[in-house]
Amino acid sequence: MCKTTQMYSPCMAMLAAKALFCLLLGWMAVPAWALDGTQILQKVDRNLEPESYEMYRTLINIEPDGSRKEYLLYSVKKGRDKIVALFLSPASDKGRATLRLGENMWLYIPSVGRPVRITSLQSVVGGVFNNADILRIDYTAEYNVESAQEEKDTYLLSLKANTNAVAYDRLKMVVDKKNLLPITIEAYAASGLLIKTLHYSGIKDFGGGILRPSTLETDSPLYKGYKSVMNYLRIKKREFPDEVFTLNYLPRIEDLRK
């Protein structure tokens, strides 16, 4: 038993050394890399697409009888929450353009001559994809990570919308651990109802360090027998001025392709 003194005794030094040793043991018991769901989601965002890019993709709606309607879109994005999509085909939709700035969305129709407001849960093309799917911004701009679980080859992220304006209240995202890319995403309403499931497949090297799924399919228990598919044809890093992401610029998006 050590006696208390006003001097720093060898006994006190021994006690301090024991405390330091216990502290070091505690640190060693913690994994060198702790699971950080937000960091994983940030990497998923950047692996899916650069922060600023141009992209060509097709969107195909398939009905229960097998009939199909296909669209070709040219899209440009800047930062975490600015994106424009221009319809190149079919001829009946050519020249239409959609703009998303954060939670706000507009549709420009050449014959109307002015943009009109649209919502995230509407769909300018019909089918299972809604406007939030077509004009997707960074997941980290819309969702907070509530939990992250590590499994053998995947991570399971549970996400909660950070505002009531987000299309889906909750997401359950299965992420491939090797590539840090989504495999499936289940989208839920605030009531807990499953709205749709997104399936990513066909990892492709698009060049410029972009390695990501080339196909996104979705189905929904609310639209039995219907399916919608996005095929990513080209993605390229490109910088754009802020002027491109304004209502006044929507009639001139085609000029960016020249």
CATH code for the domain of 187: 2.50.20.10
Instruction: Summarize the confidence of residues 18-26 as an average pLDDT.
Output: 48
Give the other-Cβ count within 10 Å of 135's Cβ.
Answer: 21
Q: What is the reported pLDDT for 212?
A: 97
Instruction: Summarize the confidence of residues 150-163 as an average pLDDT.
Output: 96
DSSP string, 121-187: TS-SS-SS--HHHHT---HHHHEEEEEEEE-SSEEEEEEEESSTTSS-SEEEEEEETTTTEEEEEEE
Instruction: Summarize the confidence of residues 171-196 as an average pLDDT.
Output: 97
Say yes or no to pLDDT of 25 above 80.
no
Domain assignment present for 15: no
State the Cα–Cα distance between residues 218 and 199, nearest whole angstrom. 6
State the Cα–Cα distance between residues 124 and 133, nearest whole angstrom. 11
The percentage of the chain sitting over the pLDDT mark of 90, rounded to a whole number, equals 85
Cβ pair 100, 108 in contact under 8 A: no
Q: What is the reported pLDDT for 7?
A: 44
Q: b/e map of 156-167 (b: 16 or more CB within 10 Å)?
A: ebbbebeeeebb
**What are the structure tokens assigned to 52, written together?**
């600023």
Domain assignment present for 69: yes
Domain assignment present for 21: no
State the Cα–Cα distance between residues 93 and 72, nearest whole angstrom. 10
| Per-residue confidence band for 140, with pLDDT thresholds at 50, 70 and 90 | very high
Cβ pair 82, 100 in contact under 8 A: yes
Q: What is the reported pLDDT for 8?
A: 45
Domain count, the chain: 1
Read off the pTM. 0.84
Instruction: Summarize the confidence of residues 19-37 as an average pLDDT.
Output: 51
Cβ pair 85, 245 in contact under 8 A: no
Domain that holds residue 142: 37-257
At residue 153, what is the residue type?
D
Domain assignment present for 41: yes
Domain assignment present for 151: yes
Domain assignment present for 227: yes
Cβ pair 108, 253 in contact under 8 A: no
Domain assignment present for 3: no
Q: What is the reported pLDDT for 52?
A: 96
Q: What is the reported pLDDT for 14?
A: 53
The label of the residue with tokens 């399919």 reads 217
Q: What is the reported pLDDT for 24?
A: 44
- Average pLDDT taken over every residue of the chain: 90
Domain assignment present for 25: no
Instruction: Summarize the confidence of residues 42-69 as an average pLDDT.
Output: 96
Instruction: Summarize the confidence of residues 147-155 as an average pLDDT.
Output: 95
**H helices of the chain, where?**
10-29, 37-48, 131-134, 139-142
Q: What is the reported pLDDT for 34?
A: 55
Q: What is the reported pLDDT for 258?
A: 85
